[in-house]
Structure 1
Amino acid sequence: MEEGVKVWAAGGPELWRKGSVSKRVPEAGKKTARITVVLDEGGTAEFVVSDEQDECADVKLRNVAGQASTLEGLGAEDLTSLTHLHEPTILYSLNQRYQSDLIYTGVGPILLAVNPFKRVQLYTDEILAAYRQDGERRHYDPEYDGTLAPHVYAIADKAYRNMTAPSNEYEHRSQSILVSGESGAGKTETCKIIVKYLAILGSKTGSTELGTIEQQVLESNPILEAFGNARTVRNDNSSRFGKYIQIIFDGYGKLTGAQIKTFLLEKVRVVKHSAMERNYHIFYMLAAGASAEQRESWAMGDLEGHQFTSQSGCYDRRDGVLDSDLYAELIEAFSVMGFEENGKANIFRMVAAVLALGDVDFVERPDAGDEERLTDLSEPSRPRLEAAARLLDVSPERILTALTSRKINAGISNQVTIYLTQEQSGHARDALAKAVYAAMFEWVVGRTNECIEAKQAEAVSEDRIFIGLLDIFGFEIFTNNYFEQFLINYANEVLQQQFNNFVFRQEQEEYEREKIEWNFIEFPDNKDCIELIDKKPNGIIPTLDEQCLLGKSTDDRFAREMYKKCEGHDRFQLAPKMRVEHKICVRHYAGKVVYSTEGIVEKNRDTLQQEGTEFERNIWRKFWEPSERVLGRF
């Protein structure tokens, strides 16, 4: 690093500052030199660099004229073309492009997208047609070298062309696109854009005029978002479940249907959400869009009066989207998908029933005998229990019995009734509400799949190929992080390991096999973090499972067990205050996260007593035709 070179120097509110090396002085008896950097913003800064390296952790060479063939900043469409690739030049280039609404930047085969949090003119019919034409030319002309800017359309197009290529290494091989990023990064919107582009490419009409099956594939989004998305602190339309969508094509590349697989629905949100957050969209959509007569038939009052929607005092979205408009979109989507009127009515009844269950509270019975219930309904809860019973088409007494007692086996053929305390009855109510909502969500997904799979029987099954699209919840760091954030971040940790393995490790192994000269790239290995979480017997999850098997395990006991097992692990941090509050800290690849252990044991058990399980089963069979695919878990 000689005098006069342009550099990035660490420090300042923006993390990195522009400057020039004005002086380099070797340190006596050492293989290092002390350099002085004159900062563009004014002042100087000093750093120590090695004689063997041009850079150090705090000083990086800039990609400017005379020092690099590709300049950093606005014109850096592919970051791998930069001579000096490091944090400051990546951040600077992304920021400069973002300021000009160029939200997409390439990193080799990877596309970086920065959420603009506004509507940008990047998805017009003209732009879509340009990328489609560009993809076709690349497909048929190996010598063609397009010049279009990085775009999510280009990623989707490449997957489609690879899948349909007549003779290359990808010949009729299914493809997958992974959409990842932190919460609020724009993953859900990106997935919708990809699905729309693929639907147009695979349209049997050959134009942007979509047929029935293509429209049905697209209309699955409003349905899934209504029941599986919610406003969080960082995102107004956050997916609170993971989904893997297979867009299915025939041997000619024509779209024949799709299949959606969902996992890890955040059931706890049904009964609890934090400040500045909302429950699932569907509750607010019904309140805003349904008629007064419908709401009366569902026993729905103002959202402020329901326990499951009034906890945070937050009832709207910050992005300007109206719940009444979303309700209209949902009704239209149901129509396009072919949902029967009876099915729609039962769905809305279940949503209203969950709200009514949330308003059921219990009081202790101080005069209860040994063989009597320990709790009873509070007086304000009686009409709410009756409303829930009517909506679920069962007797109020049956719900009350399911929530205030449970049976345990005593011996081979005898059963003993155990009566629950006020707190236990509250937990049973929440468990039932979560189970009913989760079962309804699973039915909605199953019915959606039946709709979008309808045309597949007409296709030649042997020629079916697909493009898989994984949309998983983003990494989350909130003021208060609970078991749900832990699971979400664990899933992202595993995805990051996959990313490291395929993008870095396997690529470098390929270079070695082909005898290509290359410089080793240091990349973070998070294997030790994953082992901290899931390795038996001392990992966090095995320890939690172990604690759940114990009869009298508590959250505090689990925390103390973790302190004993994991203190000293590089990825596990502990401070005196955390011990007092029974918290744990994990150093994830994306940063340190402090987790509260409040409720962690009960959430991991996610128990619904036998009475509640049988009750839920009967509701399911009463309202919907039994489905082996969905009922298999009961």
Structure 2
Amino acid sequence: RIPEHPRIVKLLGSVIDYNDSDQTPVLLVMERLRRDLYVALKNRLEFSVRMRVALDVVEGLRYLHGLGLVHRDIKLKNVLLDEVNRARITDLGFCKPEVMMSGSLVGTPIHMAPELFTLKYDHTVDIYAFGILFWYICSNGVKLPTNFDVCSSKDILWSAVKKGVRPERLMDFSDECWSIMTKCWDTQPSQRPYLGEVQEKIEQILNNTRTTSMATSSIEYEGSDFGVGDFVLLSEITKDAFVQNLKLRFDNGRIYTYIGEVLVSVNPYRELSIYGHNYITSYKGCEMFERPAHIFAIAEAAYRTLKQRLINTCIVISGESGSGKTEASKIILRYIAAVTNMSNQAEIQRISNILIQTNVILETFGNSRTNRNDNSSRFGKYTDLNFDYKFDPIGGKIQHYLLEKSRVVKQQIGERNFHSFYQLLSNKKSLQEYGLYLKPEDYYYINQGQCCKIDRIDDKKDYEKAIEAFKVVGFTQDEISTIWKIIATIIHLGNLTFTDVDGEHCLIVRSNDQNDQLEWISKLLDCEPSDISSALTSRVVAARNEVFQSRQNVTRAYYGRDALSKVNCI
């Protein structure tokens, strides 16, 4: 008969073979639970949930030991979780009264205490096995400890265990958790702690976690004063009620609100302290509506769907200019990098850093100041993240489309060209190299909006960030130099002027000083000035078997100049 206890799986009945003289049960009917701990840890669980599971297992073992029973096979697959992630111990097939154990060798190799091989053991083998189980619980994964994974056979593993080899300490293990593990798997059974001591220590860890969470998370609980966190719960579905709720939440520092599985975000245009490690931890492993509305919940839902259903997932970020789309994409990337495999965090951090730095480069050459936003993206982009079989990011690519090329040659009053032009002009060291001797206000392409300098934008600092981003992504010094030469060429093209000859054709206006635009353009493009002049003041026409050159008037020359600048922009 299986003992009845909240932490032990319930036996509902059995099927007996009455043709057998012993009438031995051939099938046990037990309660159905959601999943085992192995599956749960593959999908990651929040730290507090994992500590609660550990407490449940200890409680179940204490009950069995109180009845004089020893489980002898505590492992991930033998701990089942219900809908709210409360644990129950199952598979009592090896469970025996301590006084009846005949010295048989049973259990799962990596969870077996060394004294099992002497065939003389007691209930402390369960404490040892719990120590190994607790290692998995704290690691929040199912990957074998490295010290065990290197063992090529069961015999080699057993030999290592008998010699004192144990799982290694991972970098995110706290001293308290590591102390519990090492004491539980002590080689000497008499030195292992009582389960009551283990339970007390885990309860203390769990209480400290809750206290820290309450102290650091200002959005852990939202009362009625903060408005309704999900618009579908509004008592009155009207535009006025929608806006009023949005304003109430924003005034109380709540920039996120759900509409079912859609997240509405209001850009606060300032930095908020709601994206730190404590917030990441509080949303990691949680269902979407377990916590207040947050972009981390969306990122976690997409990542969890990828792992559980093994299908591609997508997050669509849409909104008007200045609504915060670019920042939202950065936040999602940072979250994914933070919640993936801690044991390989260095490589994951390197990959995520490349993706984030790619955004810096895209913003440099694709973002500009508009009348609504100092850092407005003037293009669309699709970011593709690739994951390996362990669901760790291993790379990605960014596709861009619909770049506003016309901004290179024309901007409205109060707006700027792309950031890259102003960043280059802020770097005094490179100005002579590119022939940019004039003030920014004197360059036609970058001063049509009459706002070359914006107090809120530090072009020099952003230039340094762009250079660093180039290096992180993997650009060579020659490639970086070539890119800035193209930007300098476009600036010079904007100051290129034409003079009419006879109404039918024109010439480029030259100067005899160091500011001769044509001379610098040809130097930067590594060609002859005559080549540039010919390309802008004439065009080649092909008719049947003839090819001839046609002169351009001033209007068409300026059109050609602008067209060349936009092509260089691509």
Question: What is the TM-score with the length of structure 1 in the denominator?
Answer: 0.52
Distance 2:226 2:346 in 1: 32
> Which residue of 1 is the match for residue 506 of structure 2?
375
When residues 334 and 419 of structure 1 are mapped into structure 2, their CA distance, relative to the original with a 3 A threshold, is same
| Residue pairs, 1:549-560, within 5 angstroms | none
Contact 1:284 1:315 in 2 (8 A): yes
Find 1:129's aligned residue among 281, 288, 291.
Answer: 281
Rg: which structure is higher?
2
When residues 362 and 146 of structure 1 are mapped into structure 2, their CA distance, relative to the original with a 3 A threshold, is closer
Quote how far apart the aligned CAs of 1:246 are. 0.4
When residues 420 and 338 of structure 1 are mapped into structure 2, their CA distance, relative to the original with a 3 A threshold, is same
> Which residue of 2 is the match for residue 539 of structure 1?
none
> Which residue of 1 is the match for residue 543 of structure 2?
410
The root-mean-square deviation of aligned C-alpha atoms, in Å, is: 2.1
> Which residue of 2 is the match for residue 86 of structure 1?
238
> Which residue of 2 is the match for residue 158 of structure 1?
301
> Which residue of 2 is the match for residue 241 of structure 1?
379
Distance 1:146 1:109 in 2: 9
Question: Counterpart amino acid of 2:233?
Answer: S
Question: Counterpart amino acid of 2:550?
Answer: I
Quote how far apart the aligned CAs of 1:183 are. 1.1
| Residue pairs, 1:591-610, within 5 angstroms | none
> Which residue of 2 is the match for residue 11 of structure 1?
none
| Residue pairs, 1:40-51, within 5 angstroms | none
When residues 417 and 240 of structure 1 are mapped into structure 2, their CA distance, relative to the original with a 3 A threshold, is same
When residues 127 and 72 of structure 1 are mapped into structure 2, their CA distance, relative to the original with a 3 A threshold, is closer
Distance 1:247 1:71 in 2: 37
> Which residue of 2 is the match for residue 46 of structure 1?
none
When residues 283 and 173 of structure 1 are mapped into structure 2, their CA distance, relative to the original with a 3 A threshold, is same
Find 2:406's aligned residue among 252, 258, 268.
Answer: 268
When residues 112 and 206 of structure 1 are mapped into structure 2, their CA distance, relative to the original with a 3 A threshold, is farther
When residues 187 and 210 of structure 1 are mapped into structure 2, their CA distance, relative to the original with a 3 A threshold, is same
Find 2:443's aligned residue among 301, 306, 323.
Answer: 306
Quote how far apart the aligned CAs of 1:251 are. 2.1
SS of the residue 1:211 aligns to? helix
When residues 174 and 388 of structure 1 are mapped into structure 2, their CA distance, relative to the original with a 3 A threshold, is same
Quote how far apart the aligned CAs of 1:89 are. 0.8
Quote how far apart the aligned CAs of 1:192 are. 1.0
Question: Counterpart amino acid of 2:505?
Answer: L
The Cα offsets for residues 77-114 of structure 1, whole Å up to 9 and x where unpaired, read as: 00101232110111000001111111000000100000
Percent identity of the aligned residues? 33
Say yes or no: does 1:419 pair with 2:551.
yes
Quote how far apart the aligned CAs of 1:291 are. 3.5
The Cα offsets for residues 258-313 of structure 1, whole Å up to 9 and x where unpaired, read as: 1111111111111110111000001111122x233x11111113211111111121
SS of the residue 1:95 aligns to? helix
When residues 205 and 317 of structure 1 are mapped into structure 2, their CA distance, relative to the original with a 3 A threshold, is farther
Quote how far apart the aligned CAs of 1:378 are. 2.1
Distance 2:376 2:406 in 1: 15
Distance 2:443 2:341 in 1: 45
Contact 1:231 1:237 in 2 (8 A): yes
Quote how far apart the aligned CAs of 1:222 are. 0.6
When residues 85 and 299 of structure 1 are mapped into structure 2, their CA distance, relative to the original with a 3 A threshold, is same
The Cα offsets for residues 339-362 of structure 1, whole Å up to 9 and x where unpaired, read as: 100000101111101111111111
Quote how far apart the aligned CAs of 1:71 are. 10
Distance 2:461 2:397 in 1: 27
Contact 1:362 1:377 in 2 (8 A): yes
Say yes or no: does 1:283 pair with 2:421.
yes
SS of the residue 2:263 aligns to? strand
When residues 205 and 233 of structure 1 are mapped into structure 2, their CA distance, relative to the original with a 3 A threshold, is farther
Say yes or no: does 1:332 pair with 2:468.
yes
| Residue pairs, 1:152-301, within 5 angstroms | 152-165=295-308, 171-203=309-341, 205=343, 210-288=348-426, 290-292=427-429, 294-300=430-436, 301=438
Distance 2:569 2:542 in 1: 28
Contact 1:72 1:89 in 2 (8 A): no
Quote how far apart the aligned CAs of 1:153 are. 0.7
| Residue pairs, 1:333-372, within 5 angstroms | 333-366=469-502
> Which residue of 2 is the match for residue 428 of structure 1?
560
Quote how far apart the aligned CAs of 1:317 are. 3.3
The Cα offsets for residues 9-29 of structure 1, whole Å up to 9 and x where unpaired, read as: xxxxxxxxxxxxxxxxxxxxx
When residues 163 and 229 of structure 1 are mapped into structure 2, their CA distance, relative to the original with a 3 A threshold, is same
Question: Counterpart amino acid of 2:506?
Answer: T
Contact 1:298 1:391 in 2 (8 A): yes
Quote how far apart the aligned CAs of 1:218 are. 1.5
Distance 1:406 1:423 in 2: 13
Q: Give the number of equivalent residue pairs.
A: 346
SS of the residue 2:547 aligns to? strand
Quote how far apart the aligned CAs of 1:207 are. 5.5
Task: Flag structure 1 segments of 5+ consecutive residues without an equivalent.
Answer: 1-69, 139-144, 166-170, 439-634
Higher strand fraction: Structure 1 or Structure 2? Answer: 1
> Which residue of 1 is the match for residue 4 of structure 2?
none
- The answer to which of 340-349 and 188-197 deviates more is 188-197
SS of the residue 1:431 aligns to? helix
Distance 2:448 2:556 in 1: 20
Task: Flag structure 2 segments of 5+ consecutive residues without an equivalent.
Answer: 1-221
Distance 1:130 1:206 in 2: 21
> Which residue of 2 is the match for residue 401 of structure 1?
534
SS of the residue 2:561 aligns to? helix
Contact 2:348 2:394 in 1 (8 A): no
Quote how far apart the aligned CAs of 1:423 are. 0.4
Contact 1:375 1:420 in 2 (8 A): yes
Contact 2:337 2:349 in 1 (8 A): no
SS of the residue 1:177 aligns to? coil
Contact 2:368 2:416 in 1 (8 A): yes
Question: Counterpart amino acid of 2:279?
Answer: I
Distance 2:239 2:286 in 1: 35
Distance 1:212 1:422 in 2: 52
The Cα offsets for residues 366-414 of structure 1, whole Å up to 9 and x where unpaired, read as: 2x8xxxx710112459810111110000111101111111111122x21
When residues 397 and 261 of structure 1 are mapped into structure 2, their CA distance, relative to the original with a 3 A threshold, is same
Contact 1:172 1:251 in 2 (8 A): no
When residues 189 and 402 of structure 1 are mapped into structure 2, their CA distance, relative to the original with a 3 A threshold, is same
Distance 1:185 1:265 in 2: 19
Say yes or no: does 1:112 pair with 2:245.
no
Contact 1:71 1:82 in 2 (8 A): no
When residues 435 and 148 of structure 1 are mapped into structure 2, their CA distance, relative to the original with a 3 A threshold, is same
> Which residue of 2 is the match for residue 450 of structure 1?
none
> Which residue of 2 is the match for residue 49 of structure 1?
none
Quote how far apart the aligned CAs of 1:226 are. 0.3
The Cα offsets for residues 149-204 of structure 1, whole Å up to 9 and x where unpaired, read as: 10011101100000111xxxxx2111111111111111111111111112223356
Quote how far apart the aligned CAs of 1:416 are. 2.4
Distance 1:83 1:393 in 2: 69
> Which residue of 2 is the match for residue 385 of structure 1?
518
SS of the residue 1:178 aligns to? coil
SS of the residue 2:445 aligns to? coil
| Residue pairs, 1:500-511, within 5 angstroms | none
Contact 2:381 2:399 in 1 (8 A): yes
